[in-house]
Amino acid sequence: MSHHLQFFIDGAWVDPVTPARIDVIDPSTEEVYTQISAGSRADVDRAVAAAKAAFASFSLVPKEERLALLKRILEVYNARYEDIARAVSQEMGAPISFARNAQAWAGQAHMEATIRAMEEFEFSHRRGSSMIVKEPIGVCALITPWNWPLNQIVCKVAPAIAAGCTVVLKPSEIAPISGIVWAEIMEEAGTPKGVFNLVNGTGPDVGQVMAGHPDVDMVSFTGSTRAGIIVAKTAADTVKRVAQELGGKSANIILPDADFENAVIQGVQGCFGNTGQSCDAPTRMLVPADRHDEALAIAKTAAEAMKVGDPRSEETELGPVVSEMQYNKIQGLIEKGIKEGATLVTGGLGRPEGLNRGYYVRPTVFGHVKPGMTIEREEIFGPVLSVISYENEEEAIRIANDTVYGLAAYIQSKDIEHARRVALRMRAGTVNLNYPDWDTMAPFGGYKQSGNGREYADWGIHDFLEIKGIVGYGD
């Protein structure tokens, strides 16, 4: 039975209080392929009440039992792995190989990291005659995006449960089906009633209601900076904790002593991964001024080698972007880049040749991008790379940090000590040296308007905990 039109509340699949539907569109065809129910305040109230009731007992469940629950969830996740990959591929257009090897893998990897971190996590310790206790914060509203659906769901749900919290999840209404599969996984794993709840719907009708709900103790939000500000303002009236992972405009500094050709190629691939729809993508490539044209030639070849097409094909590297709205936004920013005088190296306006439907964007490289240009400042969230010159290292660092964002930065150098020194000067939550493998044990989160709080492993668990000092505890 399909649960697309139901919510998961208090351990059961239920119909919405007031029937209303949202179309879910396959971005590769532009056609509606299913519908979900649109939640309302009444549905949020029901889910929050279930989570609040469950918190009284679940917050007291021993660590070992919560750890056993996480392990059961991982076991069921692994059994549903292909279902997850196919759901993500259709709902957001991720190429099926990427959906398996990155999207579904990310959820699996973060489950494993949370379990590993929890096995070693200490929820209390002595300090002199006091006992310091880390306790679950309470009922948590989790609002997740469409671009890395399982990555963000697991990065919120798993540490919240590890901490002993109960949750209400609102996945993106643009890519909600993988969230429904996740809810089925939670049910099959035997999650206690009310510990995990799911309500689908829009940001204004469900997300904001959750953020402002008086019985919600914390909001964890991932999405745009614009939406994050609304969530924070809404949550402020009830003085609840807000953790946010927001936008980015990450710089990729290729230092003069880097393996230049490889650094440029990997930089293009990193920018275009997930069809450019990653908040930490290296979208601003900084290269020595005397090698700018060389970088453009390499980037052009690398971009044009990437296969754009049907996400169902195993050979496809870039699928469509997620929606018509995103497609139009990206087209507008490409047009602005051309008008503002950046050099269009490859790509540009319109769909790639041979694709006459679907939200496909031509892999685009701009050269001679100047600091202050729109495409250098704004998050594009598509396969668009800006190449920027610098005269010396100090200028490169200044340009890299001259942004309202601070989610990630990238440094390329054959001299690891040199790369480490530059990394210390980056105003970003994650600095990647020489394109390392994804580390699910490292903290992830941003400086400045890229958010606050940290996710992954024990860093995520900390976000869902309150600190209590029991003074005079004794020897």
Q: How far apart are CA 436 and CA 429, in angstroms?
A: 15
Q: How far apart are CA 459 and CA 475, in angstroms?
A: 30
3-state secondary structure of 204: helix
Q: What pairs with residue 409 in β-bridges? A: 251, 431
Q: How far apart are CA 388 and CA 366, in angstroms?
A: 9
Rounded to 5 degrees, φ, ψ at 75 are: -60, -45
Q: Count H helices and E strands in the chain, helices first.
A: 16, 20
Residues 6+ apart with CB under 8 A from 436: none
Q: Are 268 and 138 in contact (CB under 8 A)?
A: no
Q: Are 71 and 115 in contact (CB under 8 A)?
A: yes
Concerning whether 279 is annotated as a catalytic residue, the answer is: yes
Q: Which secondary structure element, helix H or strand E, spans residue 58, and what is its range?
A: helix 41-58
Of the candidates 155, 165, 279, 379, the residue annotated as catalytic is: 279
Q: What pairs with residue 40 in β-bridges? A: none
Q: How far apart are CA 461 and CA 159, in angstroms?
A: 5
Sign for the pseudo-dihedral over CA of 232, 235, 236, 242: negative
Of the candidates 91, 245, 317, 376, the residue annotated as catalytic is: 245
Nearest to 66 by CA among 113, 18, 9, 115: 115
**So which residues are the catalytic ones?**
245, 279
